[in-house]
Structures are given as structure tokens and as C-alpha cells.
Structure 1
Amino acid sequence: MDCFAGATIPKPFDIGIPFYSVENVTANDFEHTKFITKAEHTLLSARIKIEKGDILMTRIGSIGECKYIDWEPEASFYVSLALLKCNNKVDSRYISYYSNSEQFKKELELRSLFYAIPQKINLGSISEIIICIPSKSEQTAIAKVLSSMDKEIESLNKKLSKYRALKTAMMQQLLTGKIRLG
């Protein structure tokens, strides 16, 4: 697995090419981003380019949060993120899920800069993290099961949101006397 750092922040714009930061990864929101010019993006992506199947990992502030890139991005990223590129022996979705494990968090903590404020981990230290890697087929199977569970959780959360909205509307009707119960 190779690790790459992003760029320091160029002058942001209201429109242009998305420029991802820690906030985008931690909020899992890649719609509301800062933007840079096409020229700046071309310059930054000549060194390293975010591609579908890569992982963005926070390395400053809230370290170790990962986002698997499951879309075709045209974007650059800030220096507070590391871009993880996996070789063909590793399923990057597996690595993304593994990053939530206790073992990964312990490895991350051992290699982070203890006295840095905010918390920080260097790129070299990220590449030294020991990861339990089963066979590629098992990695893929694990990632598939966990992905299915994520989809089910998302579906349940949508239902829960609908029921909460229904309850709020019902409370409004009942508590204001618009609807009376016998």
C-alpha cells in the first residue's frame, strides 16, 4: 500500500474542482467542498491523482478516519489527508473497513506524534502500520458482508427518519387539539 500526502491549501474558490479536506472525510460529505481552479488541480494531480478504489485517510486532527472512494472523482486533496493506493493483492474496501478496527486504531496511536496539537501522523508512519491481511478472496468476502450491512443500516436509518417525522407531525396535530382522540 502506498501513501501520498495532499497539497497545502491553494486559494479556495466558490466553483471549480473539488478540494477535499478532513471535514469532508469525517462528515462523509463530498458534495459540499472547497474548490480550486482547473489549473491548480492539473498541477496537483500531475504528482498524484485520486482514483476510484483509493482511500482517503485523515492524518491531522481526527486521525485514521478513512473513506473508500467508490466513485470516479475529479478532485484534489489537502495535506491533512493521506491518499492510500492498494496493490492488486489487497482489496481497498477491506482496508477501509479494517481502519475501523481496534487493532488499526492501536497501531495508529503507537505511530502518531504524541505531542503534536492537533494530533498528527506522518506518511512514513502510516506505511509502517501492521495490518492483518487474509487472502484476497477472504478480504473481498469480508468487505462484501460489511458493505451489505452498511446498506441495511442506511435503509433502517431512512425508515427511522420517516417515523420521527411522522411522530413530530402527529404530536403537532394531537397536542394543538387539531385532532382529538376519543
Structure 2
Amino acid sequence: MFSSKTLAEMDRNIAKYPPEQKQSAVMACLIAAQEEHGWVSPAIIAEVAGILDMPTIAVEEVATFYNMYETKPIGQFKLVICTNLPCQLSHGEEAADYLKKKLGINFNETTSCGTFTLKEGECMGVCGDSPVLLVNNHRMCSFMSHDKIDALLDELKSQAKKGVSA
């Protein structure tokens, strides 16, 4: 189910803990699995549970508690926009509405082409840079005006055509 690269990443994280506490690597293992597959399906959750000698339900609880894990398929690019109060006071809601209009989707939806999924996010810790957008949990975009949103979407669409993920 996992590539040798992903299994090596999981082993590297498991090795950080004493053998009797290897379940402490559950979050890192879920991240590695999601990086490879794009989301954590029930089968992936069960496989991670087996690797860590944990009950499947315990791994599922972690996967469903934290918003960094996707338990349903998502688009090639996950766009998370902060909607907490400081961002809202600095045009966050306007940026979110603009994204919804540009993509033709609402929060927790994916474009019909499968390129974009739009999510509402909690504080990302850069309130002074709002509105803030996170791409695929790795790339932080600040001061997201309409022009910057347009440029980002064009860039990501170009990457999608080339088969590249951010």
C-alpha cells in the first residue's frame, strides 16, 4: 500500500521513540501516508494502525480530530483560507468570497475538474499578513488581494496542466 520511500519515512519517525511508544509516531505516519495518497482512506488508516500496533479506531480518532488530515478525496491543490476574526477584519471574508466565486465552489467542495478544494481554516499565526491562504499544507500566501489570488490560481492551474503539485 505504501512505497518504499513512505515506509522509510514512517520508520524514521517511529525510530524517534522507544519501541514500546512507537504509537507516538501516529501523526507523522498519517502525514507520510497522506503525502503519498492525497488523503487517508479507511484502508490507509487500518494499515497505519497495523504498522504502529494500534487499534484502528485510535488512528481514526487522530485522523478525524486534526484538520490537517483529509479523510475524503480532495483536489490536487487544497486551498485553506483563514476565517478567524483578525483575518476577517483585514478582508479575509472578502478574499474567501472572491475565491468561492472564482472557483465556483463553496467551502469543503472540490472543483469539477478535480484541481482545487477550498477549505475554511483556523488561525495560521500570521494575522498581520491577512488575508492568509495555505496551499497543500505547505505554502503560505499572505496579503491575498484579488490580483494575488488571480495570479496564484493561474500559477496553480499551470502546474496542474504539467502534473505538478505545490
Q: Same fold (TM over 0.5)?
A: no
Structure of higher CA gyration radius: 1
Flag the structure with higher helix content: 2
TM-score (norm. length: structure 2)? 0.31
Normalising to structure 1: TM-score of the pair? 0.29
Q: Which has the higher contact order (CA 8 A, sep 6+)?
A: 1
